C-alpha cells in the first residue's frame, strides 16, 4: 500500500481546512499516485488507511474514490470495495495505441514550439531519471519518467490534448511499476535521449518518432509478462511508496 507522506495542513488559526480544500488535496494526491505508478494493479484502496494518512474523515476520500471509479481509473468489486483494475492484454494494447496517437501529436506540437528553456528543463529531469535508474530507486524512476513526459506534453499548450492524455495515464499508470521489474527489457531512457536530440535540432517528426517508440517499447515489455487476466504482481501488497504531489 502506498504510504501517505504528509497530512493536510491546518489553517493558521488551528481550524480544520475547508471541505473543498480537503477534497481537492485528496484528489490531487490520488491522481498523481495512479499516474506515477504508486498504486498497483489489483491493489484494494483501504478507505480507513487513506483517511488516516490524510488526517481526514472517510467522506472526502470516499467521494474521490467514486470520482476515480467514474473516470475508469479505479473499479468497484462485487463486494463493494474499490481497487486498481488489472488491465487485460487487449485493454492494455488499446490504451497504448491511443497513447501513441495523442502523445505523438502532443510531442510534435511541443517540438514545433520548443524553446531552449524547455530543452534545458527536460535535460535536467532526464538526468535525474538516469540517476534513479542507475541507483534502482523505484519511486524516483516512476516520478521523473512521468515528469519528463508531462513537461514535454504541456509545452504543446493544448487544452484538448492534456486532459485526454491524463485520463490515459490514470488508467495505465499503475502498470509502470511492473515495467521496471522485467529483466529482459530494462529501463534505460534511451528514447528520451533521442527526443532531446530531436528537440535541439528542431526536428518535430523525429521527436514524435522517439515518443512513439518509447510508448511501444513499454507496451511490448508489459504484454510479455501479462497473463489472460491481466497484469498482476507476484505478491499481495504493493511497496511502501511515498511521494510529493
The CATH number of the domain where 200 resides is what? 1.20.120.530
Q: Which of 8-17, 47-56, 90-99, 162-171 has the weakest average pLDDT?
A: 8-17
Domain that holds residue 9: 1-86+232-245
* Whether residues 167 and 237 fall in one domain: no
Identify which has the larger pLDDT, 1 or 100: 100
Contact present, 152 and 114 (Cβ < 8 Å)? no
Q: In whole angstroms, what is the distance from residue 79 CA to residue 19 CA?
A: 28
* Whether residues 140 and 171 fall in one domain: yes
- pLDDT, tens only, 54-79: 888 899 999 999 999 999 999 998 88
* Whether residues 22 and 128 fall in one domain: no
Identify which has the larger pLDDT, 195 or 232: 195
* Whether residues 214 and 93 fall in one domain: yes
* Whether residues 72 and 11 fall in one domain: yes
Average pLDDT over residues 89-105: 97
- pLDDT confidence of residue 230: 64
* Whether residues 12 and 79 fall in one domain: yes
The CATH code of the domain that includes 36 is: 1.10.10.10
Contact present, 227 and 234 (Cβ < 8 Å)? no
* Whether residues 100 and 215 fall in one domain: yes
* Whether residues 75 and 179 fall in one domain: no
pLDDT at 200 over 80: yes
pLDDT at 17 over 90: no
Average pLDDT over residues 21-37: 90
- pLDDT, tens only, 188-197: 899 999 999 9
pLDDT at 43 over 50: yes
Radius of gyration of the chain (CA): 18
Number of domains the chain is built from: 2
* Whether residues 29 and 74 fall in one domain: yes
* Whether residues 37 and 131 fall in one domain: no
pLDDT at 185 over 80: no
Helix (H) or strand (E) holding 49: helix 47-54
Query: Which three cell numbers mark 196?
Result: 532531446
* Whether residues 108 and 217 fall in one domain: yes
- pLDDT confidence of residue 243: 46
- pLDDT confidence of residue 149: 98
* Whether residues 103 and 190 fall in one domain: yes
Amino acid at each position: 500500500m502506498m504510504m501517505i507522506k504528509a497530512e493536510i495542513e491546518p489553517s493558521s488559526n488551528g481550524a480544520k481546512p475547508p471541505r473543498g480544500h480537503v477534497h481537492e488535496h485528496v484528489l490531487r494526491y490520488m491522481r498523481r499516485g495512479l499516474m506515477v505508478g504508486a498504486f498497483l494493479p489489483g491493489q484494494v484502496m483501504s478507505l480507513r488507511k487513506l483517511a488516516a494518512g490524510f488526517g481526514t474523515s472517510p467522506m472526502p476520500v470516499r467521494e474521490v474514490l467514486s470520482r476515480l471509479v467514474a473516470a475508469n481509473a479505479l473499479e468497484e468489486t462485487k463486494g463493494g470495495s474499490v481497487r486498481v483494475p488489472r488491465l487485460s492484454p487487449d485493454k492494455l494494447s488499446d490504451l497504448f495505441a491511443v497513447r501513441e496517437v495523442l502523445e505523438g501529436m502532443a510531442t510534435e506540437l511541443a517540438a514545433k514550439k520548443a524553446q531552449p528553456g524547455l530543452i534545458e528543463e527536460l535535460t535536467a529531469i532526464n538526468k535525474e531519471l538516469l540517476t534513479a535508474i542507475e541507483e534502482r530507486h523505484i519511486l524516483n524512476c516512476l516520478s521523473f519518467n512521468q515528469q519528463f513526459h508531462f513537461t514535454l506534453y504541456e509545452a504543446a499548450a493544448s487544452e484538448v490534448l492534456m486532459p485526454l492524455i491524463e485520463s490515459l495515464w490514470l488508467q495505465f499508470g499503475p502498470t509502470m511499476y511492473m515495467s521496471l521489474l522485467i529483466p529482459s527489457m530494462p529501463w534505460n531512457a534511451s528514447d528520451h535521449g533521442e527526443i532531446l536530440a530531436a528537440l535541439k535540432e528542431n526536428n518535430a517528426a523525429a521527436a514524435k518518432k522517439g515518443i512513439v517508440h518509447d510508448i511501444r517499447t513499454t507496451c511490448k515489455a508489459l504484454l510479455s509478462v501479462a497473463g489472460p487476466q491481466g497484469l498482476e504482481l507476484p505478491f499481495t501488497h504493493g511497496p511502501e511508496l511515498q511521494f510529493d504531489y
